[in-house]
Amino acid sequence: MLATAAYNAGARNVRRWLPAAGTVPADLWIETVPFRETRDYLQRVLTYTVIYEQRLGREPVPLLQRMPPIPGTGTITAHQNADASGKPG
């Protein structure tokens, strides 16, 4: 979810949208993304991923597996917090 959101809105924005502490279910986090375009994009990517899996004859991945909880800034590792260039954020 975070990489998909960062692709659409930029890593810097996504880092600002992370919860301050703990974790948040991915579906709730998506609904709180302040950019409507990014919220819609995330929902479309999830929808079309399921459709493409079916068309390719693959076993569908459960949404809970596809959408792990979003970690808060206090729980995210430096590797997870790296931007596209690989530099820690």
**DSSP letters along 72-88, please?**
PTTT--TTTTB-TTS-B
Domains of the chain, first to last: 2-71 (1.10.530.10)
* Range name among 21-25, 72-76, 77-81 with the lowest pLDDT average: 77-81
| pLDDT confidence band for 89 (50 / 70 / 90) | very low
Give the torsion sign (CA, 34, 26, 67, 17): positive
Q: What is the pLDDT of residue 58?
A: 95
The CA-CA-CA angle for residues 32, 60, 68, to 5°, reads 35
Residue 57 to residue 51: CA distance in whole angstroms: 10
Per-residue confidence at 34, pLDDT binned at 50, 70, 90? Answer: very high
The arithmetic mean of pLDDT across residues 32-39, rounded, is 98
Rounded-to-integer distance, Cα 77 and Cα 63, Å: 24
